[in-house]
A and B are shown apart, each in its own frame.
Chain A
């Protein structure tokens, strides 16, 4: 794995992400500043981490999505490169047009910071090959604007093409309004692009990877990526 973590002003989860990538792969990722115009040579995974890029001014992720480095990320994605966006990173990928839809204010207007349950809807993409389809994982979330919204056609297309990868559910994997804490359309927590190489998700798998700190359900996402990239190399 030769990962690059994109760093924007106001991002604050980039070190958690870098720590997890190093823990799982043994290699520290490159930290790439937003003003750069190219990714390091040989990059095989781009991660857009969480935080509050540009203080969430204008709209969450809107200004970061127009940063110089995003053209390079777009070009990387268009050739099949793997891109993972977490939390603010998901918002940025949506604003950048790499994923459809938008993340709106949580339905009850509260910033929600706690562990949540996600049902993994498919395991045939590099991001989820470490899980079984239907498996429920517990990972932390911390956001005020994670309420996924898209027009009805887009949602129908996402569902029809199996592009909803993670959904907010009960610990048993049941969808119900009380488990869809931010009001997201169809309890969508994470989606993938048409080609399965760009994934955005609101919760933070990078924070549940070490037994000393609690559950390790997030670890398989990164282990799966490492296995996939190791096989491709």
Chain B
């Protein structure tokens, strides 16, 4: 089973890296970009388990390590 945990900065948290990328895209002439926020994606393979159990496990992983919930939100997606 494959899964993804996506970690993004909460709104209101300043993201200087995202700002720098936004500026670089503008200077490359990529038009129409209003703003960029940088996050992280973790691609995780699960050995076994039922869907509900896997989701609970990934939430535990996100809470304990993958995300710092002071500044970040996370989203768990299980791909079959």
Instruction: Check if B44 is an interface residue, CB within 8 A of chain A.
Output: no
Shortest CB-to-CB span from A24 to chain B, Å, is 34
Distance of A130 Cα from B55 Cα, bound (Å): 52
Contact pattern, B 23-53, Cβ under 8 Å of A = 1, otherwise 0: 0000000000000000000000000000000
Interface hits, A76-128 → B, CB 8 Å: 95, 100-102, 104-109
Residue pair A58, B66 in contact (C-beta under 8 Å): yes
Q: In the bound complex, do residue A105 and residue B65 qualify as a contact, i.e. CB atoms below 8 Å apart?
A: no
Query: Is A2 close to B, CB under 8 A?
Result: no
Cβ B17 vs Cβ A109 within 8 A: yes
Q: Which of B13, B65, B70, B71 has the most CB of A within 10 A?
A: B70
Q: How far is the CB of B23 from chain A (nearest CB, A)?
A: 11
A36 in the interface, Cβ–Cβ < 8 Å?
Answer: no
| B56 lies within 8 A of chain A by Cβ | no
* A109 CA to B20 CA, complexed, in Å: 9
A58 touches B65 (CB 8 A): yes
A157 interface residue (CB < 8 Å to B): no
User: In the complex, what residues of A have CB within 8 A of residue B65's CB?
Assistant: 58, 62-63, 66
Taking the complex as formed, is A151 at the interface, i.e. its CB lies under 8 A from any CB of chain B?
yes
Whose C-beta in chain A lies nearest to the C-beta of B19? A109
Q: B interface vs A, CB < 8 Å?
A: 13-14, 16-17, 20, 64-66, 68, 70-71
On chain B, the residues within 8 Å of A109 by CB distance are 16-17, 20
Complex: A183 Cα to B70 Cα, angstroms: 18
Q: How far, in angstroms, from A68 to B14 measured CA to CA in the complex?
A: 32
How many inter-chain residue pairs (CB < 8 Å) link A and B? Answer: 35
5 A-B pairs with least C-beta separation: A102-B70, A109-B16, A105-B16, A102-B71, A102-B68
Which residue in A62, A63, A107, A151 is a CB contact (below 8 Å) of B68?
A62
The answer to whether the Cβ of A150 comes within 8 Å of any Cβ in the partner chain is yes
Q: How far is the CB of B71 from chain A (nearest CB, A)?
A: 5
| A106 x B16 contact (CB < 8 A) | yes
- Contacting residues, chain A, for B66 (C-beta < 8 A): 58
CB-based contact B14/A59 at 8 Å: no
Query: Looking across the interface, which residue of chain B has its beta carbon closest to that of A63?
Result: B65
- In the complex the two chains form, what is the Cα distance from A100 to B16 in whole Å? 21
A66 to B65, CA, bound (A): 8
B17 and A151 contact, CB distance less than 8 A: no
Q: Which of A62, A100, A149, A150 contacts B14 (CB 8 A)?
A: A149
Nearest CB of A to B9, in Å: 9
Are the C-beta atoms of B17 and A107 separated by less than 8 Å?
Answer: no
Closest residue of A by beta carbon distance from B70 = A102
Q: For the complex, what is the distance from the CA of A147 to the CA of B16, rounded to whole Å?
A: 11
Residues of A near B70 (CB, < 8 A) are 100-102, 149-151
Given A58-B65, A62-B65, A149-B13, A104:B71 Cβ within 8 A: yes
